[in-house]
Amino acid sequence: MSNDHAHAPAHVDDDEHNPHLAHHFDTMGQQTASAKLGMWLFLATEILMFSGLFLAYFILRMFYPEMVLEAHEHLSKWAGGINTVVLLSSSYTMALGVRSIQLGDAKKLRLMLVLTMLCGCIFMVVKYFEYSAKFEHGMLPGKFYSAHLHGYEIEGLPHIFFGVYFLMTGLHGVHVVIGLAIMLWMFIRAGRGEFSAKNYVAIENTGLYWHLVDLVWIFLFPLLYLVK
Amino acid sequence: MAKVFLNGQPVEHPHEVHEHISPMSTYNGVIGALFVLTGLTFAVSFADLGPASLTVAMVVAFVKATLVVAYFMHLKYDDKFHLFVFLGTIIFVGIFFGFTMFDLKSRDALNDEQETFVRWKEQTNEGKGLPVGVDNVPERRAKILAEIEAHGGGHGGGEHSAGHGGGEHKAEAKAEHKAAAH
């Protein structure tokens, strides 16, 4: 490579000296493409994992439509709606964060990461209140179900419905928490000046992950909270 | 200059960054559309659309998902191979859903025809207030109920009530297993 190097056009940046280029890649472009492909493959496994839970929901709905309708009336439409708006907003700020660093503005990236984390935290707080209400009313999965002792009579298999509800929203919530931790990490790394218009694939991948979390919620919300 | 490869293809100008940077107006438009669509599903959920409500909710959700994937996740401008990975996943989810639902929906008719029907239905176990899986073929149901009676009843409903047995032997085995467990 060093032989040809002398003939390279002068305007081409020398990637070999970029401290963020791993030794097993030739260029930053190649490194970025590899990381992104890896992220998309990971997202594929995430989609497949969540699809199993969605299928469980649809099967439950197919066999026990009245029960699902009756049980879902006990979920708060407003809490779910607020969380949808909050999560969509966080996706927006995350996308703007990626755009900022594409333009080389690390300061704005950090601001956008903070806003995104703020939205993620609001989401989890709303979730906390929702879960507390469900715990109080004994609307819990499987053998922990005791809503009938709290004066809520739901015909059929409500303990299965709440099993599906807690597993779907719970796994999604875990993803939100992991996303928050990753964004905090990215915030620290951005503060160290690691990211630039040439090296931002970590931010882009964080964004892809966060948008997937949003994507799952886009389907969870109408299915669990809204559908009649 | 050594040859640089991306996704198995040689790259002409490896040092240039090919990332598309969307203008602010794109992001503002997308988030606006997402909010409007969220408001739409929310409003529609108060109207009584009957069986159409699931279709309406899913269509809106798919439109929202498409917007997020295309613009926020940049798939519209990205390497087409990423789009292939994503759509490939969706196809496999479709196969997963399609075949499972087809099986579950058509199995009842087949079982009825061949009289191998063993569908566990919930029935309240008097006194304990817990649903117990009970076979709906009269003779087998009577047998199982008698066994439950003989062993004091009160099995947890959750693990048995949603199951599907597969034929007479399995049903009997299940009943025996239940009896043995208590």
Find chain B residues with C-beta within 8 A of A223's C-beta: 57
Contact B97 A58 (CB under 8 A): yes
Q: Name which of A69-78, A190-199, B114-123, B135-144 the model is least confident about.
A: B114-123
Contact B58 A222 (CB under 8 A): yes
**Chain A: closest CA distance from residue B6 (Å):** 6
Residue A69 in domain: yes
pLDDT in tens, B55-91: 899 999 999 999 999 999 999 988 889 999 999 999 9
> Are A145 and A162 a contacting pair, CB within 8 Å?
yes
Contact B89 A44 (CB under 8 A): yes
Q: Return the closest-CA partner of residue A36 out of A189, A206, A225.
A: A206
Residue type for position B50: G
Residue A21 in domain: no
| A196 token code pair | 């630039």
Find the CATH number of the domain harbouring A63. Answer: 1.20.120.80
Top residue of B18, B73, B100 to mutate, by most chain A CBs within 10 Å, is: B73
> Are A123 and A145 a contacting pair, CB within 8 Å?
no
- pLDDT for the residue numbered A65: 86
d(CA B177, CA A141): 24
- pLDDT for the residue numbered B114: 66
User: Taking a contact as any Cβ pair under 8 Å apart, which residues of chain A between 103 and 142 contact chain B?
Assistant: 103, 142
Confidence check: pLDDT of B181 > 70: no
Find chain A residues with C-beta within 8 A of B78's C-beta: 36
Spans in chain A with pLDDT lower than 50: 1-12
Nearest CA in chain A to B88: A44
Residue A25 in domain: no
- pLDDT for the residue numbered B180: 47
Contact A142 B14 (CB under 8 A): no
Instruction: Tokens 């090919």: give the residue.
Output: B18
d(CA A137, CA A150): 6
Contact B78 A143 (CB under 8 A): no
- pLDDT for the residue numbered B112: 67
Residue A1 in domain: no
On the CB side of B93, CA atoms within 13 Å amount to 19
- pLDDT for the residue numbered B129: 41
Confidence check: pLDDT of B175 > 90: no
Confidence check: pLDDT of B174 > 70: no
Find chain A residues with C-beta within 8 A of B125's C-beta: none
- B47 pLDDT band, cuts 50/70/90, is confident
Q: Identify the H or E element spanning B9.
A: strand B9-10
- pLDDT for the residue numbered A184: 97
Q: What is the DSSP letter of A196?
A: B
Q: Domain tally for chain A?
A: 1
Which of B14, B71, B129 is closest, CB to CB, to A30? Answer: B14
State mean pLDDT over B140-159. 59
Find chain A residues with C-beta within 8 A of B156's C-beta: 143
Segments forming the whole domain that contains residue A116:
41-145+156-226
**Chain B: closest CA distance from residue A167 (Å):** 16
Tell me if chain B has a CB within 8 Å of the CB of A37. yes
Contact B61 A222 (CB under 8 A): yes
> Are A56 and A164 a contacting pair, CB within 8 Å?
yes
* A169-to-A157, A174, B96, B143 alpha-carbon distances in Å: 19, 9, 21, 40
Residue A27 in domain: no
Residue A26 in domain: no
pLDDT in tens, A130-145: 999 998 888 888 888 8
Q: Which residues contact A2 (CB under 8 A, 6 or more apart)?
A: none
3-state SS assignment for residue A139: coil
Which of A49-53, A101-105, B111-115, B175-179 is predicted most confidently? A49-53
> Are A159 and A149 a contacting pair, CB within 8 Å?
no
Contact B41 A222 (CB under 8 A): yes
d(CA B89, CA B116): 36
Tell me if chain B has a CB within 8 Å of the CB of A8. yes
- B120 pLDDT band, cuts 50/70/90, is very low
CB neighbour burial string for B140-162, b if at least 16 within 10 angstroms, e if fewer: beeebbeebeeeebebebbebbb
User: Taking a contact as any Cβ pair under 8 Å apart, which residues of chain A between 56 and 95 contact chain B?
Assistant: 58-59, 62-63, 77, 81, 84-85, 88-89, 91-92, 94-95
Confidence check: pLDDT of B45 > 90: no
Contact A218 B4 (CB under 8 A): no
> Are A68 and A164 a contacting pair, CB within 8 Å?
no
Which of B1, B53, B96 is closest, CB to CB, to A228? Answer: B53
- pLDDT for the residue numbered B157: 41
